[in-house]
Structure 1
Amino acid sequence: MSSLTKRTRFIGIHKPPLNLSREEFERKASALGDAIAALPIAQNNLLKLDIIFQNTLMDEHMKGVGLSIAAPTVVMSAEYESLDHLQRARVLKDPALKKLLTESDDFGFRKHATAFAADVYSAVDAPDITAGLHVICVYSCPPQFSADVFGQKMKELMENIASQSIRDKLSHYSLWLQNDAVDKHLQALGYPAPKPLLVVRADSEHLDHMKEIFEHSDVSRLLKEGIRDLGFHRDSDNPTEAHCFSADIATKISKY
């Protein structure tokens, strides 16, 4: 696994309330992303702001390795220079940002969310390749493991997968591990305390490339074994929660 990336990220994982359709929740989340991106504090301090939405392009392949079809999920991802820079700029204390998030309670954006700062470990990063297909996996920490042990096991699984002959099919492959650096600020903004989980993101240039990765015999075996060993397999007696899906990404801010 390569060294910790120079930039850290904020990630929010959001689920719609029962009284709102997935489509309406996504529409409102996208509008919220536009409003946040328009704030001077965001324009001046964020390097990237993405709103990530599910699509169904990889559903059959997710089922093929033992995962359930993901429940409706929207992900907000923000990249910035450093946590120190974020805190010096008082981004998470900005009154205009707080107002937008308070207003988002009208559609339950914060109520069922898990939000945190993340340390991002990259196994593959080829920024010169344009990503056309994205896969996001949100794994809750299995009850039998501590967060540190879970993170280490997922690192080992990623290293094993990245060592196979599929690296040239990927433009990005990373593991996002929670840290608690901004927890108190997020809770002051109205977010609940984050659940212990981690995120894996994989990008490829084409849909066919991602399908080839999942269909590669050794990668498929490693995924199936890992999903079963960690308790995420849909046929487990009490499967640990996982939300894995291919995704469309709406970029609201990009300084690259």
Structure 2
Amino acid sequence: MSTPTSTERFCVIGIHQAPPDLSKKEFEAGIETLVANWLELPIVKTNALKMDMIFSNALFEGQVRAAGLADSRPFAIIKTEYETVDNMVAVMQHRESQELVAGREEFKQERGASVFSGEVTTKIDKPGSKDRAHGIVILKVPEGELPDHFARKLEALLDRFVALPATQKCVSKCTLLHNGKSLENQLNAMGIHTPRRTFVIHMEYESLYHSMEVVSDAGTLKLLGDAIQDLRVSLIDVSYFGADVIPKFHEEMRPICEAECASSTNS
């Protein structure tokens, strides 16, 4: 049985990879500082619905090697969700927001960073356990491939994946994020690189054990073979890693944040 697909919120995705001259600890500390400073801005508190900070971990290293993928430098993803594009634009065009990211090493293209506006499409969403394991797949559209054609093929393959019995049993949430054009001009004006069409698949497994069950399932293995052939992706253009997801802000915190802002203004 196919799982209903829903397109929900708009978001900004920042994908950052640790440069060779920084340790994982140093790299993640820099990202944490950036996020903390950004969340202090009133424009962010009043327009954002949710922000997650995602760091790669070593949970799936064995799976990565078994799939023939190369080990990658540590990743960090900053995902901020908004109700509308207008809310996104209000934040991205705000002077203090622009000054905060201007010139930062984490946002430089030569450092492997890419930031883009994206849409979130939910494929599976059901209550999960407290022991959930997160997996992230990042795919770039191959050179010469039409992005819309690639997107249709990828979504068809993802629909087949979520319909597999092993997926239905072991995956509590699966979302597809893909970059659009809604903020491209604003991001370029800020000197932030907008990459060629990129897709991010975020899976939440019931546990690490369940993730292993999905990866070793015969249906999944066949689907992976079909994906490599149908999407014509090079393994160089695919990254897969376990992730630690750290919630930093959600809309229920808005009244608290607004009260703090008012108190600060009146004092």
Q: Shorter-normalised TM-score: what interval?
A: 0.7 to 0.9
Residues 141 and 233 in structure 2, CA contact (< 8 A), matched pair in contact too: no
2:96 counterpart of 1:100: no
1:199 paired residue number:
200
| SS of structure 1 residue aligned to 2:9 | coil
Residues 153 and 230 in structure 2, CA contact (< 8 A), matched pair in contact too: no
Residues 65 and 224 in structure 1, CA contact (< 8 A), matched pair in contact too: no
| SS of structure 2 residue aligned to 1:8 | strand
Residues 136 and 244 in structure 1, CA contact (< 8 A), matched pair in contact too: yes
1:253 paired residue number:
249
* Deviates further, 7-16 or 18-27: 18-27
Calculate the TM-score normalised by the size of structure 1. 0.87
For structure 1, the 5+ residue unaligned runs are 234-238
2:119 paired residue number:
119
Count of equivalent residues: 247
Query: Match for 2:108 among 104, 107, 110?
Result: 110
Alignment of 1:143-182 (within 5 A): 143-165=143-165, 166-182=167-183
| SS of structure 1 residue aligned to 2:54 | strand
Change (3 A) 1:228 1:69: farther
Task: Deviation per CA, 1:166-186: give whole Å up to 9, x if none.
Answer: 213111112112110011111
| SS of structure 2 residue aligned to 1:137 | strand
| SS of structure 1 residue aligned to 2:244 | strand
For structure 2, the 5+ residue unaligned runs are 253-267
Calculate the TM-score normalised by the size of structure 2. 0.84
Which amino acid in the other structure matches residue 196 of structure 2?
K
Task: Deviation per CA, 1:181-202: give whole Å up to 9, x if none.
Answer: 0111112222023222211111
Residues 67 and 232 in structure 1, CA contact (< 8 A), matched pair in contact too: no
* CA displacement at 1:205 relative to structure 2: 2.6
2:238 paired residue number:
242
CA distance in 2, matches of 1:226, 1:3: 20
Q: CA RMSD in A?
A: 2.1
Relative to total residues, which structure has the larger helix share, 1 or 2? 2
Structure with larger Rg = 2
Task: Deviation per CA, 1:128-170: give whole Å up to 9, x if none.
Answer: 6556211111111112421111111111111111111021311
Report the identity percentage: 27
Task: Deviation per CA, 1:11-37: give whole Å up to 9, x if none.
Answer: 111123333223211110111111112
